[in-house]
Chains A and B, each alone.
Chain A
């Protein structure tokens, strides 16, 4: 597949922004500047960016507790996200959501989700809306391998396949459900095998390879848009950090982790491919690196200076649209 210079740079920028954002958060937590439960997406960038590069603004995406990458890939404002992680009034969710609940319906982001598997039926519902309203939209649910052991996954895929909903279910199989290796708790070889129970189309992609994810997502989304029903797309990937920020990862094989991080970094694989094809130069990409770094620094500075929410006004607002007292 040939990519133009502009789109190559744009794809790289998205992946670099996700990586930079997550690295920045790791530093901020270590320095005690932000708190909360954080689950970093570094290592899995090719999945979010590869799938979302196939989406329209009106398509909806549902995400997970490891959701920053999906938000950035779908176009949520990075400064708003950073302010949200600082719990500020200027945050994407006005400081009320935090890392696990960043959402922005204006760009089709139906929310990160703190409940493993909890976003899957929401995406199924968004696909039902698209089908009933005949809007032409597709709904995409991202979730990990761990979520495929939840009932919400099975109930949703069963319904979606039965109703031929315009949905794409993207499993980011990073090899671990929290600390437990996937093969300890999943009796099938590939997560994609689970689609057979629902008569659902399934694909497997190399989740570290942007181009492989991008091409397979295209097939699945095209099927969904023309009314042929949903697909389960399994992307084999790896999380570079642990389950959460601060996880010392004693459960994972150090050599295996090194292998993934040194040899299978999705940003490096992407860079090698586009530089080899000659559409962009190393300088082009280093320029993007600099721009992303400046954006993130500004995001942190602005977030730290942003106003805190007001307990008087904000603690009890937005629980309901209307609530007579």
Chain B
């Protein structure tokens, strides 16, 4: 398979088109996903979503399968759940993950629970794409990383890719998965470019990726914090400290064995998560290390996260809010 340089957004767009071509049951619905105009009229410019990620789909697949919804997050997600339970394979877009606030019931009480409550008699092959995280000066209500909420709900799967290639492969896997999957597109990676293979391929859910190998310390990251951890690992290498860098890719299912393997190898773990610290993924990984990997630990598990605050608007404050390579280096230094 040949590869080209694409942004994460373009890789996601490609995955959606491939999924729609290969399965007529795949539909895309959400606010402005088709374009915010009447596609049947020539010359109406197509927006393809607020960040343009779905641009071009309505032209190829038509307005029945690429559907602009009203600004009704609860209604559109609930409709997507009902469509999934009755025979379609919808990809719903929740424009920003913060809008979980206006839409949680269909995910929390419906999508996540139908199969269990029905004694296994239904499948809910729903994918919810949503943009998460800080970094666009979008302030407190458009910048949150709330995957810790969906990860904590049994019945949902949650995926957070860190590269364009993974975004494409994980999204294809998510759409074809028979369970509801929350697919988080971290703002920090949407405009990043990387090599993306052409054609149809899947990256399996629940498999972490070991991005670099070293035996001194384990840096565990996902989504936008992978590049932060990469920068830290580069700096550490300059000092002769070699880091394992594990990209979780999927938070539920979580590749626990990969976490324990890197811990066993290095005995030192720093988890980097751009979300707030309480009840979060960093804490979850730290608990796993202590619970199942205590004998391998040579130092406390360090968590590098955002502070327990809303996301600020000011560029200076937002930059301070987000985990930085320096903070990762500080955490590694504390391990001794």
Interface of A toward B, CB cutoff 8 Å: 60, 62, 91-97, 101, 103-106, 110-111, 113-115, 118, 120-133, 139, 151-152, 154-156, 158-159, 162-163, 317-325
With a cutoff of 8 Å between Cβ atoms, the chain B residues found around residue A318 in the complex are: 115-116, 119-120
With a cutoff of 8 Å between Cβ atoms, the chain B residues found around residue A95 in the complex are: 119
Partner of A111, one of B74, B118, B157, B179: B118
Partner of A124, one of B75, B87, B179, B253: B75
**From A162, which residue of chain B is reached at the shortest CB distance?**
B70
Partner of B109, one of A115, A130, A162, A325: A115
With a cutoff of 8 Å between Cβ atoms, the chain B residues found around residue A163 in the complex are: 67
Partner of A121, one of B74, B90, B256: B74
Q: Do B206 and A129 touch (CB < 8 A)?
A: no
Q: Do A126 and B86 touch (CB < 8 A)?
A: yes
Tell me the count of chain B residues lying within 8 A, CB to CB, of chain A.
Answer: 51
CA distance A122 to B114 in the complex (A): 11
CA distance A91 to B120 in the complex (A): 12
- How many residue-residue contacts, CB under 8 A, span A and B? 167
B41 interfacial contact with A, CB 8 Å: no
Q: Do A125 and B80 touch (CB < 8 A)?
A: yes
A-contact 0/1 string along B1-29, CB 8 Å cutoff:
00000000000000000000000010100
A-contact 0/1 string along B229-248, CB 8 Å cutoff:
00000000000000000000
A-contact 0/1 string along B170-186, CB 8 Å cutoff:
00000001110000000
CA distance A320 to B179 in the complex (A): 6
Q: Do B83 and A128 touch (CB < 8 A)?
A: yes
Interface of B toward A, CB cutoff 8 Å: 25, 27, 64-65, 67, 69-70, 72, 74-88, 90, 105-106, 109-110, 113-123, 154-155, 157, 177-179, 204-207, 253, 256
Q: Do B74 and A320 touch (CB < 8 A)?
A: no
With a cutoff of 8 Å between Cβ atoms, the chain A residues found around residue B157 in the complex are: 320, 323
Question: With A132-B27, A324-B253 in contact, is A159–B118 under 8 Å at CB?
Answer: no
With a cutoff of 8 Å between Cβ atoms, the chain A residues found around residue B106 in the complex are: 118, 121-122
Q: Do A96 and B121 touch (CB < 8 A)?
A: no
Distance of B32 from chain A, by nearest CB (Å): 15
Distance of A249 from chain B, by nearest CB (Å): 28
Q: Do A320 and B120 touch (CB < 8 A)?
A: no
Partner of B117, one of A60, A111, A126, A132: A111
**From B125, which residue of chain A is reached at the shortest CB distance?**
A321
CA distance A126 to B90 in the complex (A): 12
With a cutoff of 8 Å between Cβ atoms, the chain B residues found around residue A110 in the complex are: 82, 85-86
Distance of A62 from chain B, by nearest CB (Å): 7
With a cutoff of 8 Å between Cβ atoms, the chain B residues found around residue A322 in the complex are: 177-179
With a cutoff of 8 Å between Cβ atoms, the chain B residues found around residue A128 in the complex are: 79, 82-83, 88
A129, A139, A158, most chain B CB atoms within 10 A: A129
Distance of B209 from chain A, by nearest CB (Å): 15
A62, A91, A122, most chain B CB atoms within 10 A: A122
Distance of A111 from chain B, by nearest CB (Å): 7
Q: Do B118 and A93 touch (CB < 8 A)?
A: yes
Identify 18 new A-B residue pairs, CB closer than 8 A, beyond the known A118-B78, A127-B82, A324-B253. A91-B119, A94-B120, A105-B85, A110-B86, A122-B85, A122-B110, A125-B85, A125-B88, A132-B64, A155-B70, A156-B79, A159-B75, A162-B70, A318-B115, A321-B115, A321-B178, A324-B206, A324-B207
With a cutoff of 8 Å between Cβ atoms, the chain B residues found around residue A122 in the complex are: 78-79, 81-82, 85, 106, 110
Q: Do B78 and A120 touch (CB < 8 A)?
A: yes
CA distance A103 to B116 in the complex (A): 11
Partner of B75, one of A92, A93, A155, A321: A155
Partner of B82, one of A62, A115, A319: A62
